[in-house]
A and B are shown apart, each in its own frame.
Chain A
Amino acid sequence: MAKLELKYGNHACAEAAIIAGCRFYAGYPITPSSEIAEKMAELLPKHGGVFIQMEDEIAAMGAVVGGSFAGLKSMTATSGPGFSLKQENLGYAFMVEAPCVIVNVQRGGPSTGLPTQPGQQEIMQSLWGTHGDKLIPVFYPGNVQEIMEETIRAFNWAERLRTPVVLLLDEVLGHMRETVDMAQFTPDKVEIWNRKMPDVPPEEYLPYKPGEDDVPAIAPYGTPGYRGHATGLHHDYTGFPTTDPEMCQELIDRLIRKVKNRQPELEKNEEYKLDDAEIAIVTFGTTARAAKTAVDLAREKGIKAGLLRVITIWPSPEETLNKLAKSVKAILVPELNMGQYVFEVERCARGEAPVYRLNRANGKIIYPHEILAKIEEIAKGGK
């Protein structure tokens, strides 16, 4: 039976983190993400966890890596400029394979931009923000119920693959109250994954020797007998630096492969009225909610529109997007930025259908009637 409760988006993220088993939060408050920190500061001590406010976002991300290596499920939340500051240690977390969740409640950028208004401008940065090659899972829920689901999923994949996972929200989602069915989050309904532990005696232990799943079993620091070493430098199975070209290539191949190979399992989309669609909208987050209404409005006018709402932004649903491009006459990608995910959609469409854009970066959300107008234009053969 449903148990409907009104929940604040940012609070739902914090509550779900606790359900997922998060017991360490390090952060630095920034609008519009601060309520996540606020709620974690309230909840963590009650669950035997630790909350720490650091001197800035750089230190907060460093502390998250430390908390994770000490064995606790760890997270931080930030927004806009704070997400930029976290990039260096996010890359470090990827390299040393520290499971953690980084929430970015997107506001208008660049720079300090529009602190209190929504944006979707970190679609690319969430994957490419830190230097060097990287592939990490990036999830983007579309409502408050899903914020809870995706927060738990982010922790699960972070632990299973020993990788940072980015959870994207936007100001509208973070600052919205919405009905949530809490009956979906009772312990018997929620699946929780934990990182694997070494199954060898201390003398045989090599912290960065991967298992068949490409994931190493790293003992939490302080485990008696299990000595570890972590470095952002290229390293071998011992965790100590190496410049051996074969080892270095093997490391980067594996770090990317362990995520890429799971793409089919990681993929998550919502398909709405796509079966007979001639014009498909591809979008995410708050903009997808306007798009869904726009699909209904277009169908009332006799235009066969449909929606693919992408929830796992990275790795992208390459084959799904390619198949979609083959089945429709045109694709429209509305997003609250000057055109980001549209590049990925174009790449995956491989010329099978024209891809149109609807962009905005002024802090205002895109309304259903604006997407409808664009659909009508495309249907008439304009652009």
Chain B
Amino acid sequence: MRYEVRVIGSAGQGSILAAVVLATAAAEEGLWATQTATYGAAMRSGVSLGDVVISDKPIDFPKTTELDAVIIQSQEAYDDMIKGKPVRLDPECSEADADVLVNVKPGALVIVDEDLVQCDLNCNMYRVVSAPIARTAAEVLGRRQVMNIVALGVFQVATTLQFEGKPLISEESFLKAIEKSVPARFIDLNRNAFMEGVKIGKEALQKA
């Protein structure tokens, strides 16, 4: 089993931290993981991404080549994934000329923020899960900054679509990973953010 995930968003949205938490959770689960990022400074502007490869055995090639899942946190990140092809608004998910994501496998999980990302993806080609991620972070948790961790909650649930009803990584492993990855005073906030993500993830799956 080799499973590749990308967390991509705008500078400051915590995409790399989310990737680190995800890779840490994989290790907690007893899986092997590599986490890489395009190294550079993107705190104020530009697209930032963190990649994770997960496997049940030690990993040879550590970088991603064909993604099994992508978490898209902003419009510019989406545009980056379709390599600049203009976004057309088409809620019907028409098959003929829908957007294609670069280096993403057919059947891959695509998690998008339903308020921040307008997308026109072929619903037959990808398993698209759209949820109010940033809104939940801002309104339920009072901190928009934790949207990256809310997104991980959605991801955790959504992987059940790919692994016969079971998630790739358990809630417990994610919660432990959060404890290891964020400063002590933010642990509760982030644990709550993750669980809210799980909740809206379940709602999104029921809708879909």
Q: Does B35 contact A292, Cβ atoms closer than 8 Å?
A: no
Q: Does B27 contact A176, Cβ atoms closer than 8 Å?
A: no
Return the contact of B40 from the options A116, A292, A368, A369 (Cβ within 8 A).
Answer: A116
CA distance A105 to B187 in the complex (A): 33
CA distance A32 to B23 in the complex (A): 21
Q: Does A368 contact B36, Cβ atoms closer than 8 Å?
A: no
Q: DSSP majority for the A interface?
A: mixed
Return the contact of B58 from the options A143, A176, A296, A365 (Cβ within 8 A).
Answer: A143
* Known contacts A6-B23, A6-B24, A32-B39; is-contact A179 B31 (Cβ 8 Å): yes
**A279 CB to nearest chain B CB (Å):** 18
CA distance A289 to B2 in the complex (A): 15
* Known contacts A6-B24, A179-B31; is-contact A293 B61 (Cβ 8 Å): yes
Interface residues on chain A, number (Cβ under 8 Å) = 26
* Known contacts A5-B27, A116-B40, A367-B65; is-contact A176 B35 (Cβ 8 Å): yes
Q: Which of B1-39 contact A (CB under 8 A)?
A: 20, 23-24, 26-28, 30-37, 39
**B36 CB to nearest chain A CB (Å):** 5
Q: Does A177 contact B65, Cβ atoms closer than 8 Å?
A: no
Return the contact of A4 from the options B27, B34, B35, B37 (Cβ within 8 A).
Answer: B27
- Residue-wise, chain B 55-76 has the 8 Å CB interface mask toward A (1 for contact) of 0001111110100000000000
Interface residues on chain B, number (Cβ under 8 Å) = 23
Q: Does B20 contact A179, Cβ atoms closer than 8 Å?
A: no
* Known contacts A143-B58, A179-B26, A368-B65; is-contact A6 B33 (Cβ 8 Å): yes
**Contact residues in B for A64 (Cβ distance below 8 Å):** none
**Contact residues in A for B62 (Cβ distance below 8 Å):** 143, 172, 176, 178, 286, 289
* Known contacts A365-B63, A367-B65; is-contact A171 B23 (Cβ 8 Å): no
Q: Does B27 contact A368, Cβ atoms closer than 8 Å?
A: no
CA distance A145 to B37 in the complex (A): 19
| Contact of A73 with B by CB under 8 A | no
CA distance A191 to B92 in the complex (A): 64
CA distance A11 to B27 in the complex (A): 17
CB nearest to B36 among chain A residues:
A176
Q: Which of B58-103 contact A (CB under 8 A)?
A: 58-63, 65
**Contact residues in B for A6 (Cβ distance below 8 Å):** 20, 23-24, 26-27, 33, 35
CA distance A145 to B62 in the complex (A): 13
| Contact of A162 with B by CB under 8 A | no
**B40 CB to nearest chain A CB (Å):** 5
CA distance A116 to B35 in the complex (A): 16
* Known contacts A171-B39, A179-B33; is-contact A293 B23 (Cβ 8 Å): no
Beyond the given A289-B61, A293-B60, please list 9 additional residue pairs across the A-B interface where CB-CB is below 8 A: A4-B27, A4-B28, A6-B20, A176-B35, A177-B23, A178-B59, A179-B23, A292-B61, A369-B65
- In the complex, 14 of the A-B residue pairs with CB atoms within 8 angstroms, ordered by the A residue number, are A4-B27, A4-B28, A6-B33, A6-B35, A32-B39, A116-B39, A172-B62, A175-B37, A175-B39, A177-B34, A178-B35, A290-B61, A367-B63, A367-B65
| Residues on A facing B (Cβ under 8 Å) | 2, 4-6, 32, 116-117, 143, 145, 171-172, 175-179, 286, 289-290, 292-293, 296, 365, 367-369
